[in-house]
Amino acid sequence: MIHFVCGGAGFIGSNLCDKLLSSSKDKVVVYDNFSSGRMEFLESCRKNSNLKIVNGDLLDTGKLCRAMKGADVVWHLAANPDVRVGAEDTYVHVEQNILATRNVLEAMRKNKIGRIVFTSTSTIYGEAEVIPTPESYGPCVPISLYGASKLACEALISSYCFTFDMSCVIYRFANCVGRRGTHGVIFDFVNKLRDNPKELEILGNGRQNKSYFLVDDCVDAMIYAQGIQKKMVEIYNVGSSDMITVTELAKIVVSELGLSGVKFRYTGGVDGGRGWKGDVKVMLLSVKKLAASGYEMKCGSSGAVREAVRCML
Ligand SMILES: NC(=O)c1ccc[n+]([C@@H]2O[C@H](COP(=O)([O-])OP(=O)(O)OC[C@H]3O[C@@H](n4cnc5c(N)ncnc54)[C@H](O)[C@@H]3O)[C@@H](O)[C@H]2O)c1
């Protein structure tokens, strides 16, 4: 089995590659432009002769098509995952997420590859009125350009499956944290506290309430659920079944850093407490479908955050 992993040098992608390569027969081709991915993330599996790394951009359609030749399944994780950037640059998510996904699908079509696994996001739901939010929730009203771009990717993938006899598994992630995390709130807080251990700036009012889960659970769930796919288009929420506030999260980071007396300074944020434009205030996914499939998450939100801080340290 040859796995083609777009974005395999990134945070989640490199953890996925470690896991895929732990099965001795499988081969993995990483296709990454190293914009946020790092070669060092592939260090643990680089000596494995079943790994091939291609330094390439998804916008380079010729190179992508050639690199993908012979693959059995495409894992498409490459994206610009930064929600905040969409408020300043309105093209980046269109290009890096929507157009890049279209290129992946075209390369698959030309190479006659029939299976794609795609990493989507809770942000496609926008500010859902049903919490925990199930996969069947609608209408999806994204509040960020990032969320909109991922919803567009899902639609493109689904339509390619029906038009060109492909199949897909789409995972809608809550906040994934842990080993090799390079962005997000935990990363920001640890870095801010390293600079100033006396005071922590918190974007928004600190009451944003969200779900976090560990990258180990993420890759295990991804590999498990795609392995039991029944429908042509299968969609799963992936996350833990609880949530914590940003202030609670900050307290965990402070205690794991061994600090005390840290003053929290809230910016107040925008739109009545959002950290930034596009920041969803309450996010908890229903993970009943994943649980019913037989996958049990090993860690809740607080445990995941604690473990992620330890990994960073
Ligand atoms: N981390 C989370 O909490 C989270 C939550 C929801 C969804 N997701 C999704 O999961 C996926 C992986 O996220 P991550 O946190 O590991 O992000 P990441 O930034 O660490 O990984 C993305 C990888 O894609 C590569 N890449 C980006 N643009 C590319 C291009 N044009 N051509 C080739 N390679 C390119 C980057 O170099 C990087 O290695 C993304 O699709 C993201 O939207 C992540």
CA distance to 37, 109, 139, 160, 264, per residue, from 215 (Å): 15, 30, 29, 29, 28
- What's the CA angle centered on 149, arms 146 and 153, to 5 degrees? 140
Distance 78 CA to ligand 1 centre (A): 4
Q: How far is the CA of 76 from the centre of ligand 1 (A)?
A: 9
DSSP H stretches of helix in the chain? 11-21, 43-46, 61-68, 92-93, 100-111, 145-164, 185-195, 215-226, 246-256, 288-293, 301-312
Q: What is the pLDDT of residue 273?
A: 87
125 within ligand 1 shell (Cβ under 6 A):
no
Distance, CA of 88 to CA of 290 (rounded, Å): 35
Q: Which pLDDT band holds residue 62 (cuts at 50, 70, 90)?
A: very high
pTM of the model: 0.97
40 lines ligand 1 (CB under 6 A): no
Q: How far is the CA of 13 from the centre of ligand 1 (A)?
A: 7
Alpha carbon of 123 to ligand 1 centroid (Å): 15
CA distance 71 to 64: 12
Rounded Cα–Cα distance for residues 117 and 120 (Å)? 10
Cβ(78) to ligand 1 under 6 A?
A: yes
Pick the atom of ligand 1 nearest to 38's CA.
Answer: 39
Q: Is 55 in the pocket of ligand 1 (CB under 6 A)?
A: no
pLDDT tens profile 17-55? 999 999 878 999 999 999 999 999 999 998 899 999 999
DSSP string, 147-206: HHHHHHHHHHHHHHHHHHT-EEEEEEE-EEESTT--SSHHHHHHHHHHH-TTEEEESS-S
**Which fold, 2-176+213-238?**
Rossmann fold (3.40.50)
What dotted CATH number matches 178-211+242-283+299-312?
Answer: 3.90.25.10
Instruction: Read off the pLDDT of each residue in 156-178 and give the average, rounded to a whole number.
Output: 98
Sheet holding 115-121, edge to edge: 51-55, 27-32, 2-6, 73-76, 115-121, 167-173, 233-238
Report domain extents, the chain.
2-176+213-238, 178-211+242-283+299-312
Q: Which of 259, 252, 253 is nearest to 197 (CA)?
A: 259
**Which phi and psi angles does 9 have, rounded to 5°?**
-95, 5
Residue 57, ligand 1, Cβ within 6 A = yes
Mean pLDDT of 135-144: 98
Question: Token match 């777009």: residue?
Answer: 6
Residue 308 is predicted with a pLDDT of 97
Instruction: For residue 254, report the distance from its CA to the centre of ligand 1, in Å.
Output: 27
pLDDT for res 24 = 75
Distance between CA atoms of residues 5 and 13, nearest Å: 7
